[in-house]
Every structure is written in C-alpha cells, then in structure tokens.
Homo-oligomer: A and B are copies of this chain.
C-alpha cells in the first residue's frame, strides 16, 4: 500500500530536495576532482547506528597507519565521542556535528577538508551519520562506498533499505564473531545481498577478533593503488 498522494508542501519539498541533490551532486563532482588532483582516495562508510563503523575504523587506523597515511572525517548529530575515540590512533580526525541533519553533504566535507592538514594523506575515511536511509542519496565525492551491516541486525536489511545497498561498492558484514550467538543465517544473508546488490563485494569482518581484516585492508590498498 502506498502513502496517500502528497499535499502541496510535500510536493514543494520534493522539488526543493531534488534541487538540493542536484547542487550536492555538482559539489561532489568538484570535490572528487580535487581529491583526484591531490592524490587522496576517499571512502564513505555508511550503516545503521551501532553497526560498528567507529570500531572498524579504530582497528583499521591502528593496523594501516604504517602502511599508508590516513585521515578521518566523522559525522554525528551530537557529541565528538567518535572523533575522540579515533584520535587515539594519531591520525588527523575532524568531527562534523550536524545538529538535526540526518546525513552528511558534500559542502560539509569540503569545509571539513579545508580545515584539515591533508598534505601527506592518501586515504581519507568519511564516517557518515548512522542512518540507512538519507545518507544513501548524498554523493560526498568518494571513490569507494562501503556499507556496513552487523550480524546483529538480521539478514533482511538490504530488502528493506535497498537504495543504500544497491549503491554500495562493497558490503561489510561486521561483528562476525557474534554470528553464532545471534543466530545469524549466513546463507539467507548472502542470497539477499546477491539479489539486492549483485555487483557489491561482500567482506566478512570482526574488528574485535581481527577476522577478515586483512582482506579489508587489501581492498583499501587496492583502491589507493589506482591512479
């Protein structure tokens, strides 16, 4: 059953939203060009709240720091908790606090980058606001788009939030060390991912035990090896 036909304000919002998305797309295209010129490879990390984006990044920064210079831009509605957690790694970290805005936009990334020293950085992670809906439609000028799905969330999320999974370059199944405890149905999850996002690579990881992390690093290093 579809929602009722939208009232006038909703139609106007849709029009303005489309204008904002067009403007964001143009902004993201300029950002992408700038990152390419500076040799910075940008990765957009997207997921539900609590899927383990920050934990994945903490371990990634620790393990990759001596292989490739990294930096992070992290978005949240409130608090700089994630930035504080990530700064322990020693890499440059910039927190964006969005207030009520439920996603990051290209202009926020541009301003963040302008305030960071990225001279030697080759790999820039953007940790998006935890949300499987709205961040999906905002291009941030990234080169790789990675969607995390923890085994605790159930196998059906790609069916219920198709846009974000369809646009993913790879899907990271996180918290794999908990798969047995939560009764994660691996074959169902893989069947659903193959149906919704047939071109996305699937990486199975646990930032806690380290399982699958080397394959994730290889994926990142492959990205940064491209011109």
Q: Spell out A's residues near B (CB within 8 Å).
A: 1-4, 7, 9-10, 12-13, 16-17, 19-20, 23, 48-50, 76-79, 81, 94-102, 105, 107-108, 111-112, 115, 129-134, 137, 150, 152-154, 156-157, 159-163, 175, 178, 181-182
Contacts and interface: CB of A to CB of B under 8 A. Distances in A.
A16 B156 CA distance: 34
B153 A49 contact: yes
Contact of A160 (B78, B153, B178): B78
Contacts of A101: 3
Given A1-B95, A152-B152, A78 B112 contact: no
- Chain A contact residues: helix, strand, loop or mixed: mixed
A135 to B, nearest CB: 10
B134 A134 contact: yes
Contacts of A115: 1
B50 A162 contact: no
Contacts of A156: 79, 81
A175 B3 CA distance: 31
